């Protein structure tokens, strides 16, 4: 089968930039039947060593220090935006202006206003988008979603999502862009809880109302002199800079159009949990539990009473999300990087078929508005309504259908 070549441009070659690249490259193994084949054309990073890495290790044909060269390149059909949060808006608006569909990382801007600008730019340019809400791609999470949608839990009554990590638990953890409001926006609210909000929204309903609290546990961190990628440790001799956003956040929520309520919490300074991301959904007829640590397992209890009342461990298998693309039979684990391959495939599938398969920037806006309401609540201690979705969040709009049809040759 002759596959349509899709030229990929990458902006920012840090942790996520490298993983997006690996995910594109993995499509040929996980989805041999795909009608398209990504071609890694050009990558940009402001740090020369990272730009070099894109060519030497990741396999891009060329690299540059200037992201504008990626967007101006006629061989680039789609773009991955993997920059720190403060650059999301600038890069996404430029990608939209260049008419390039983009896969952008969460939280998609520093705040809801920036996310809204990104949604509107994609809409105006009619380009399809994808957002890195990675955990919803886990096959066991998709299984959970199906059980809830089929009413197997009865009416959903309450939800608990916790995103507990230790990536900043060490006081010597380096001061990076993540700890500055000017470059990150919020702390764990955007970094971790945006994933949790997306999970709850994807499985149950949008969050309608919120009350929250936040706390900064480690007020200062050492700043190393060189460039950093991902989470790194600094030296005690490095100068200390203030941490400007929250290490911990929790919120009580009421879901929109539902009697369900929820508790969502996130920490980046938990000692013990490493990347302990957990979801619990309780209903009138049953409940289910999922954790990232046992990503391929779902704990399910259906019905009350009986002499074998309790949780059954259901293993992800063919039919659950994209599991069958990665493993030949049940009981064999997928990993985090596989979830990014699912994202890469959904993004290019959306572009190639004129059908929005991937979560879009409208999903990012939905999460950003919950974060915004939580920040307001953390400041005044009151309950706050989450801003209602606008017409820009309709699936048709979010999909950039017209542009997508043009790209796919269907319009």
Ligand X SMILES: NC(=O)c1ccc[n+]([C@@H]2O[C@H](COP(=O)([O-])OP(=O)(O)OC[C@H]3O[C@@H](n4cnc5c(N)ncnc54)[C@H](O)[C@@H]3O)[C@@H](O)[C@H]2O)c1
Of the candidate residues 6, 8, 13, 118, the single one contacting ligand X (CB under 6 A): 13
Nearest distance in Å: CB 304, ligand X: 37
Question: Which strands, in side-by-side order, build the sheet including 4-11?
Answer: 62-64, 36-44, 4-11, 78-81, 102-104, 129-131
- Map residues 167-196 to x or -, x wherever contact with ligand X holds by CB under 6 A: ------------------------x-----
- Map residues 114-153 to x or -, x wherever contact with ligand X holds by CB under 6 A: ------------------x-x-------------------
Nearer to ligand X, 193 or 373 (CB): 193
- Map residues 222-241 to x or -, x wherever contact with ligand X holds by CB under 6 A: -----x-xx-----------
By CB under 6 A, is residue 84 in contact with ligand X?
yes
Which region among 44-52, 250-258, 268-276, 381-389 touches ligand X (by CB under 6 A)? 44-52
Residue 267 CA to its chain's centroid (Å)? 17
Q: 381 and 75 in contact (C-beta within 8 Å)?
A: no
Helix (H) / strand (E) element for 68: namely: helix 67-72
Interatomic CA distance for residues 402 and 392, integer angstroms: 14
**Six token digits for residue 327:** 């493993």
Of the candidate residues 25, 37, 47, 261, the single one contacting ligand X (CB under 6 A): 47
Q: 282 and 111 in contact (C-beta within 8 Å)?
A: no
Of the candidate residues 7, 9, 14, 321, the single one contacting ligand X (CB under 6 A): 14
Site for ligand X in 93-112 (CB under 6 A): 105-106
By CB under 6 A, is residue 43 in contact with ligand X?
no
By CB under 6 A, is residue 246 in contact with ligand X?
no
Q: 385 and 255 in contact (C-beta within 8 Å)?
A: no
Of the candidate residues 35, 46, 215, 216, the single one contacting ligand X (CB under 6 A): 46
> What single DSSP character describes residue 151?
T
CA atoms within 13 A on the CB side of 370: 35
Nearest distance in Å: CB 138, ligand X: 12
Nearer to ligand X, 123 or 339 (CB): 339
Interatomic CA distance for residues 147 and 65, integer angstroms: 47
Size of the site for ligand X (CB under 6 A): 25
Nearest distance in Å: CB 155, ligand X: 31
Of the candidate residues 6, 42, 44, 121, the single one contacting ligand X (CB under 6 A): 44
Of the candidate residues 85, 142, 296, 408, the single one contacting ligand X (CB under 6 A): 85
Q: 330 and 315 in contact (C-beta within 8 Å)?
A: yes
Nearest distance in Å: CB 324, ligand X: 23
Of the candidate residues 6, 8, 10, 11, the single one contacting ligand X (CB under 6 A): 11
| Strand ranges for 137-255 from DSSP E | 156-165, 207-215, 220-222, 240-242, 248-255
Interatomic CA distance for residues 238 and 242, integer angstroms: 13
**Six token digits for residue 246:** 């929250």
Nearer to ligand X, 131 or 351 (CB): 131
From residue 94, alpha-carbon distances to 58, 207, 231, 344, 395 in Å are 24, 31, 28, 21, 22
Of the candidate residues 41, 45, 250, 344, the single one contacting ligand X (CB under 6 A): 45
Nearest distance in Å: CB 167, ligand X: 10
Of the candidate residues 6, 10, 16, 362, the single one contacting ligand X (CB under 6 A): 16
Q: 289 and 278 in contact (C-beta within 8 Å)?
A: yes
Residue nearest to ligand X (CB): 14
CA atoms within 13 A on the CB side of 361: 34
**Six token digits for residue 361:** 């920037």
Interatomic CA distance for residues 177 and 278, integer angstroms: 26
Which region among 31-39, 40-48, 214-222, 378-386 touches ligand X (by CB under 6 A)? 40-48
Interatomic CA distance for residues 257 and 339, integer angstroms: 30
Nearer to ligand X, 248 or 282 (CB): 248
Nearest distance in Å: CB 254, ligand X: 27
By CB under 6 A, is residue 67 in contact with ligand X?
yes
For β-strands 312-315 and 297-302, DSSP reports them as antiparallel
Give the residues lining the site for ligand X (CB under 6 A).
11-16, 44-47, 50, 67, 82-85, 87, 105-106, 132, 134, 191, 227, 229-230
């Amino acid at each position: 089968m002759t596959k349509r070549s899709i030229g990929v441009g990458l902006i920012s070659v840090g942790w996520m930039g490298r993983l997006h690249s690996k995910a594109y490259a993995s499509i040929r193994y996980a989805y041999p039947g795909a009608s398209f084949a990504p071609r890694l054309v050009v990558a940009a990073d402001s740090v020369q060593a990272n730009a070099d890495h894109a060519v030497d290790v990741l396999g891009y044909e060329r690299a540059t220090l200037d992201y504008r060269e990626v967007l101006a390149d006629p061989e680039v059909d789609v773009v991955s935006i993997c920059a720190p949060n403060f650059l999301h808006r600038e890069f996404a608006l430029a990608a939209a202006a260049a008419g390039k569909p983009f896969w952008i990382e969460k939280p998609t801007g520093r705040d809801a206003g920036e996310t809204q600008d990104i949604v509107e730019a994609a809409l105006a340019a009619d380009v399809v988008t994808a957002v890195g809400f990675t955990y919803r791609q886990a096959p066991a999470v998709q299984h959970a979603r199906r059980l809830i949608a089929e009413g197997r839990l009865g009416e959903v009554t309450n939800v608990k999502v916790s995103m507990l990590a230790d990536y900043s638990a060490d006081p010597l953890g380096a001061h990076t862009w993540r700890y500055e409001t000017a470059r990150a926006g919020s702390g764990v609210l955007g970094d971790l809880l945006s994933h949790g909000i997306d999970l709850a929204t994807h499985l149950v309903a949008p969050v309608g109302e919120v009350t929250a609290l936040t706390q900064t546990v480690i007020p200062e961190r050492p700043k190393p002199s060189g460039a950093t990628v991902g989470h790194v440790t600094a030296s005690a001799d490095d100068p200390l800079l203030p941490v400007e956003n929250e290490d911990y956040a929790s919120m009580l929520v009421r879901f929109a159009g539902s009697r369900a309520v929820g508790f969502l919490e996130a920490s980046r300074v938990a000692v013990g949990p490493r990347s302990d991301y957990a979801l619990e959904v309780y209903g009138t007829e049953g409940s289910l539990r999922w954790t990232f640590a046992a990503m391929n397992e779902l704990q399910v209890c259906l019905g009350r009473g009986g002499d074998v009342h309790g949780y059954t461990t259901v293993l992800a298998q063919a039919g659950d999300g994209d599991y069958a693309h990665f493993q030949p039979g049940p009981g064999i684990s997928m990993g985090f990087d596989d979830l990014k391959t699912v994202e890469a495939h959904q993004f290019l599938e959306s572009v190639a078929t004129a059908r929005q398969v991937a979560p879009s920037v409208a999903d990012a806006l939905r999460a950003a508005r919950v974060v915004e309401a939580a920040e307001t609540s953390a400041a005044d201690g009151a309950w706050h309504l989450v801003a209602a979705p606008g017409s820009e969040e309709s699936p048709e709009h979010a999909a950039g259908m017209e542009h997508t049809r043009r790209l796919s040759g269907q319009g």
